[in-house]
Amino acid sequence: MGPTKALTSMEILFSLCISFVLGLVIATVYRWTHQGFSYARSFLHTMVLASIVITVMIIAIGNNMARGLGIMGAMAFVRFRTPIRDPRDIIFLFASLAIGIACGSQVFNVAIIGTAFFSFTAIFLSWSPFASRREFEGLLRFMLPADSPSHQYLHDIFQRYASSTEMVAMREAIQGEVQEYSYQIRLIDPSYKTDLVDTLSKLEDISEVSLVMQRTTVEI
């Protein structure tokens, strides 16, 4: 293992700039192709900052084993407290880390080609029907007494606005006075969301009608 290469200030700055730009590319592709229920702005910031941090670490380590072991020991004290529920999010975070490693090692052709190919693949999978099995688009919830005459109208309302429905949960609420119903539902047209909620709200005895669409994103 040879001596550590001393980089000039311009080389370090250039590596960080390339890492920053490619990190933005990965974060932008993630935002374009995101299809989850919730959207976290801080996660996109994390991807961009992670690529820069890793670039700094790789430049600092160089090919010095002692530095590498020292940083590895320091990083062992770091624990991620935020749970990452979607495996796809983890892959995008790893992509940012890989960009940082490539830029810190100054193998820019690997960083640029890898970012382009990863972005193309992510966009292709997002736009293509590959592995898509979505049957329902939203979760409908409402409360209704078990003996209410409004039950006989539910089927007709669902047929008018939804192409498919399936009850996924039913439980007692308000000390057994009413039943809380949860339905997975797929609308015939996305614009029917308001009409469906308004129509159900006009039924006798019904309360707390809500429809949460799966494709809706919430920025935290």
Domain boundary among 63, 96, 127: 127
pLDDT of residue 36 exceeding 70: no
pLDDT in tens, 146-160: 888 878 888 888 888
State how beta strands 138-144 and 162-173 pair: unpaired
Tell whether 104 and 168 lie within a shared domain. no
The region, left, alpha or beta by phi > 0 then psi within -120 to 50, assigned to residue 46 is: alpha
Tokens of 98: 């890989």
Q: Give pLDDT, residue 217.
A: 42
pLDDT of residue 118 exceeding 80: yes
pLDDT of residue 183 exceeding 60: yes
Helix (H) or strand (E) holding 69: helix 65-75
DSSP class per residue in 82-150: S----HHHHHHHHHHHHHHHHHHTT-HHHHHHHHHHHHHHHHHHHHS-TT------EEEEEEE-TT-TT
pLDDT of residue 42 exceeding 80: no
Return the minimum-mean-pLDDT range out of 30-39, 92-101, 150-159, 164-173. 30-39
Quote the DSSP letter at residue 31.
H
Tell whether 171 and 79 lie within a shared domain. no
Q: Give pLDDT, residue 129.
A: 65
Cα–Cα distances in angstroms (integers) from residue 80 to residues 4, 30, 44, 46, 95, in the given order? 31, 20, 16, 12, 17
Return d(Cα 3, Cα 139) in angstroms, integer: 61
Tell whether 81 and 183 lie within a shared domain. no
Tell whether 111 and 142 lie within a shared domain. no
Tell whether 116 and 189 lie within a shared domain. no
Tell whether 111 and 206 lie within a shared domain. no
In a domain, 45, yes or no: yes
Tell whether 122 and 145 lie within a shared domain. no
Tell whether 105 and 25 lie within a shared domain. yes
Helix (H, G, I), strand (E, B) or coil at 76: coil
Tell whether 100 and 27 lie within a shared domain. yes
Termini Cα distance of the chain: 47
Tell whether 99 and 180 lie within a shared domain. no
Could you tell me the pTM of the whole model? 0.50
In a domain, 65, yes or no: yes
Instruction: Name the strands in the sheet holding 138-144, side by side, starting at the edge strand that comes first in the sequence.
Output: 162-173, 178-187, 138-144, 207-213
Tell whether 78 and 186 lie within a shared domain. no
In a domain, 133, yes or no: no
In a domain, 166, yes or no: yes
CATH assignment at residue 180 = 3.30.70.2690
Q: Quote the domain boundaries for residue 62.
A: 9-127
Tell whether 116 and 81 lie within a shared domain. yes
Domain boundary among 99, 127, 155: 127
pLDDT in tens, 48-85: 888 887 888 788 777 667 666 656 655 555 555 556 66
Give how many domains the chain has, as a whole number: 2
In a domain, 35, yes or no: yes
CB proximity list for 154: less than 8 A, separation 6 or greater: none
Read off the pLDDT band of 218 (50, 70, 90): very low
Domain boundary among 105, 127, 149: 127
